[in-house]
Structure 1
Amino acid sequence: MKIAVTSQNHKTITKHAGRCRNFWVFTIENKQIVDRQLLELPKEQCFHDSPGHATHPLDNVDVLISAEMGQGLVRRLAEKDILGLVTTQTDPETAVTLYLQDALPTVAPEDHSHGHHHEH
């Protein structure tokens, strides 16, 4: 299992999952973290700027955790069998550990509109 966490600053779980370009990707085996790699994407590969149907470097993760994401991104992830979660937890490794224990505090995704349409 792989779990990605938004971390634009490489330290904490950050907001704006659609614009985030830096992710900690945790590899999980037997409900334990066995590896952690930083994935740094170019701007054109952030979710907001990339087409939803195209392949994406995070297509191989099972869960994406962020401090904020919209319902559109949650749906886009679900189409690729990725669970999108919004949490109040701020530490990436703690969030993953809590998720593995079914104890991650989550909140509803943002119901927001950008005021424009995407041509993805």
Structure 2
Amino acid sequence: MPVASTLVAVAAQNRREVSDHAGRCRRFLVYRVQGAEVGAPELVELDAGQAFHDAAADAPHPLDGVDVLIGASMGGGLVAKLAARGIRAATTDEREPAAAVARYLAGELPHLSPPAARPGAGHGCACGCQHD
């Protein structure tokens, strides 16, 4: 019986390190995990307007189908947007993308839960950022 594969995306704006503010990131390294084997990363570059901060929640997205997204930081709004797409969210202080994936697979990076909705919070973009 074949083992299901898992897709793990890592926010990596500079293509080398795990990025902060994953909601604004436009470059992701996507790793296919098959059993205990982690494949080589595939670079996914988003077009302008496709960063999760800006993308329409109801439109198809290049990272649809990813199982988990790892970033150095992400707001509650991004966690909620990812959850709506069926993507689990995790943050790490690890800067090397492959090491972050290994830590996730080892259970060292717990999934983040979407925050409860707060009436009147933020500016309506649901990203968790603090600008108006």
* TM-score bracket, shorter-length normalisation: 0.7 to 0.9
Q: Please give the residue correspondences for 1:65-80 in structure 2 after superposition, counting only pairs within 5 Å.
A: 65-80=70-85
Q: Identify the residue that residue 117 of structure 1 maps to in structure 2.
A: 124
Which structure features the higher share of strand residues? 1
Q: Distance in 2 between matches of 1:62 and 1:4?
A: 8
Between the aligned residues of both structures, percent identity stands at 41
Of Structure 1 and Structure 2, the greater helix share is in: 1
> Pairwise mapping of residues 43-54 of structure 1 onto structure 2 (< 5 A)?
43-54=48-59
Q: Structure 2: any 5+ residue segments left out of the alignment?
A: 1-5, 116-120, 127-132
Partner of 1:96: 101
- Counting matched residue pairs gives 116
Provide Cα deviations, 1:24-76, integer angstroms capped at 9, x if missing partner: 00001003212310111112111111111211111110000000111011011
Q: What TM-score comes out, normalization by structure 1 length?
A: 0.86
> For residues 82 and 101 of structure 1, what CA distance do their matches in structure 2 show?
18
Cα 1:29/1:87, change in 2 over 3 Å? same
Note the residue ranges of structure 1 that are not aligned, 5 or more in a row. none
